Amino acid sequence: MFLAAAVQMRSGNDRAANEARALELLGEAAGRGALLIGLPEMWEHIGPAREKHAFAGPVEGAQLARIREFCAKRAVWCLAGSIAELAAGPERPSAGGGRIYNTTALISPRGEIVAAYRKLHLFDVDIPDGARYRESEQVAPGDAPPRAIETSLGVRIGLSVCYDLRFPELYRQIGADLFCVPSAFTAYTGKAHWEVLLRARAIENQAYMLAPAQVGRIGPANENRFAWGHACIVDPWGEVIADAGGEQEGIAVAPIHPARLSQVRRDLPALQHRRRDVL
C-alpha cells in the first residue's frame, strides 16, 4: 500500500508563479506521505500560445528541472501534469510560430523522466455555454499511444491527458493498474461528465484513476475560463475515494492497494472474459 495525491490548482499565465505554487502543493502532498503525486494539465501556464514559446522546449529541458529536483530530494514519483513541449516538424498554426505538444511525463524518485506522452485527442469543441475551444490551432497531436510503465510502487502506470478520458479504447489498449488523467475540464462539461467518465474508465479496466485538475477561474484575468475542479482518486470498483472539491486549490489523498486490484479482478474477472478473437 502507498499513498497517492492528486493536486488541484488554479493556474494563470505567470509561469514562475504557477511553478512556485505547484512546488508548494507537491511539498504538502509529500509531507502527508504521498509517494505518487500528480499535477494537473497545463499547471505551468494557461494563456496565449505565443507566450508559451518564451519557455517551451524539450521535455528533458529546463521546464521540469525543479520538479525533477523535488522528486529526487523527497524520493517521490511525480506525474508532471502537462507542459508545453515544442513540436518538431514544418507544421505551423495560423497565428504563426511552431505548434506545441501538450505533454505529460512521469518522473521517478531519482528525478529521472521514465516516460513521456503527448496528448492524442485534441479539444476542438463549441461548448453550449458559448465558449469555443480549438486546441488543434496551437497544439500538435501525439502520434504514439502510451504504454503501461512498470514502477517500484507495485503498480503499472498508464498516461493520458484530459480529453483522452472520452476515448475508452485508449485505456483498454494501455492496460495499466493505475491511470493518470491530468486535466483542465471545463465547468460545463465537468459538471455533467467528469466523475462519471472517471468511474467508467476505472470500472471498465478494473484500475485506479489518479485525476489532478484545474479549478475555478483559470488563465489570464481577461478571459472568462472556468475549470470544474474535483481532482480525485477513483478505486478499481469505481468508488471515488478522495475528492478535492470544486472551489479551492489543494490536494486529494488516498491509499492505493495493489491487493485491492487483485481482489476486484478475481471477484469479477471481466478482463479475462474479453473476446479478443472477435473484438
Please tell me the distance from the alpha carbon of residue 44 to that of residue 48, in angstroms, as a whole number: 13
Does 96 score more than 50 pLDDT? no
Is 180 assigned a catalytic role?
no
The residue to which cell 492505493 is assigned = 256
pLDDT band at 127 (very low <50, low <70, confident <90, very high): confident
277 CB burial (10 A radius; 0-12, 13-18, 19+)? exposed
Pick from 126, 6, 107, 8: which is nearest to 63 by CA?
A: 107
Please tell me the distance from the alpha carbon of residue 26 to that of residue 41, in angstroms, as a whole number: 15
**Cell (9 digits) for 60:** 528533458
State mean pLDDT over 18-34.
Answer: 98
- Tell me the average pLDDT of the chain: 93
Is 119 assigned a catalytic role?
yes
Is 41 assigned a catalytic role?
yes
Does the domain at residues 2-268 carry the CATH identifier 3.60.110.10?
A: yes
3-state SS string over the chain?
CEEEEEEEECCCCCHHHHHHHHHHHHHHHHHCCEEEEECCCCCCCCCCHHHHCCCCECCCCHHHHHHHHHHHHHCCEEECCCEEEECCCCCCCCCCCCCEEEEEEEECCCCCEEEEEECCCCCEEECCCCCEEEHHHCECCCCCCCCCEECCCCCEEEECCHHHHHCHHHHHHHCCCEEECCECCEHHHHHHHHHHHHHHHHHHHCCEEEECEEEEECCCCCCCCEEECCCEEECCCCCEEEECCCCCCEEEEEEECHHHHHHHHHHCCHHHHCCCCCC
Q: Which of 162, 195, 232, 249 is catalytic?
A: 162
What pLDDT is stored for residue 90 in this prediction? 47
**Cell (9 digits) for 189:** 462539461
pLDDT band at 130 (very low <50, low <70, confident <90, very high): low
Percentage of residues in the chain having pLDDT higher than 90: 82
Query: Domain-by-domain residue ranges, the chain?
Result: 2-268
Q: Strand pairing partners for 57?
A: 85
State mean pLDDT over 47-73.
Answer: 94
Does 95 score more than 60 pLDDT? no
φ and ψ of 96, to 5 deg: 95, 155
What pLDDT is stored for residue 114 in this prediction? 98
State mean pLDDT over 216-233.
Answer: 93
CB atoms within 10 A of CB 39: 32
What pLDDT is stored for residue 128 in this prediction? 77
**Cell (9 digits) for 198:** 472517471
- Those residues whose C-beta lies under 8 Å from the C-beta of residue 105, and which sit 6 or more positions away, are 59, 64, 79, 80, 83, 113, 115, 116, 117
Q: Which of 44, 71, 119, 249 is catalytic?
A: 119
